[in-house]
Amino acid sequence: MKNKTYWIIAILTLSIISIAYSYTKITAPKEKPVAMDCAETPIASGESLFKPTIENKNRPAANKTPKGMAWIPGGEFSMGSNVEDESLCSLKGVTKDAAPIHQVYVDGFYMDKTEVTNEQFEAFVKATGYVTLAEIKPTHEEFPTAPLENLVAGSAVFTPTPAKVDLGNYMQWWSYIHGADWRHPEGPMSSIKGREKYPVVQISYDDAAAYAKWAGKRLPTEAEWEFAARGGKSGQIYAWGNTLKPKGKFQANIYQGHFPTEKGDTGEDGFIGIAPTAQFQPNSYGLYDIGGNVWEWTNDWYTADYYSVLSKDGKVARNPKGPDAPYDPGEPDLPKKVQRGGSFVCTDQYCTRYMVGTRGKGDYKSPANHIGFRCVQ
């Protein structure tokens, strides 16, 4: 039984759990200090390359704004990051694929104020009968070498470890759980009852795109997402400013404490694990939870060098839609989409991708209990 369990984790989780953490050849550091020992502000590289954001002036009438959405004016802005440290604790690597800083223009659009919630996704499922990827049993054709008894519907769930572990192997704190899906985010014994206002999770890219189409919306491009997240501000480290805890208060649902151990998350931000939407102050455009809580799918394919390619001619990129095809040199066989914003699992000891200019990535067929989405129109 132990071998069978390992097999399904090894075979299925490898395709389901690329999740945004498996960055190219990141080397695990030696023992890191706990959160309270870490610096408050990351180390930036030299003189800022960010230029002022130039917002478009045209704005639609307020009474035309769709319910639950905010108007994002669009315009020209500096996209990317020059924060060279992987995290506040100096784990290297987070911005290698978020450089160079380059100029981008996007048209105006509407964006959901919050991530799509369980009750919103439930309305979609009731109306259409849609079945998510996590609810579908994997086939023998997809995994021809896996024993048939191991091909069961399920998904990836964050599973804290009983003791400290080497942070170089994320498989230690992720498990493929039979029966985990959007209705049962942590497995068959969990439920979304009473969590109607929580962001829906265990959602693959295709699931998110299907909901968006039903709702008359779409998923944002990566450029749209970052323009909206910055809220008209230029070069700030976080959506709320340059300090992680202004006036001593956390501004997002992220992980505090020793990662990734059982009872390691101290909940200093008010939450242990996932939180309901809109529990922190919105950014300047009225968007909630643009950093932390759950990762958000974008429509763009992921390539590690896209920013370099996009900025090569030195011109302003207008409404970029991402590369034509995906390629992650670390896992070249996994087609990945860009994810943004970080999640409740992000910590200054391992992953600080709640920093607004940084990028996430994930196999587009990879749901997990820290991945959701929001839509644009």
Task: Give per-residue pLDDT as tens, 72-96.
Answer: 999 999 999 986 544 555 456 667 8
Pairing of strands 295-301, 336-340: antiparallel
Percent of the chain with pLDDT over 70: 84
pTM of the model: 0.89
User: Per residue in 242-293, pLDDT tens?
Assistant: 999 999 999 999 999 999 999 999 999 999 999 999 999 999 999 999 999 9
pLDDT top residue among 49 and 220: 220
CA angle 373, 375, 377 (to 5 degrees): 170
User: Per residue in 4-43, pLDDT tens?
Assistant: 333 444 444 444 444 434 333 333 334 443 333 455 665 5
Number of Cβ within a 10 Å radius of residue 324: 7
Q: Which is it for the CA torsion 317, 337, 370, 277, positive or negative?
A: positive
CA angle 132, 292, 187 (to 5 degrees): 40
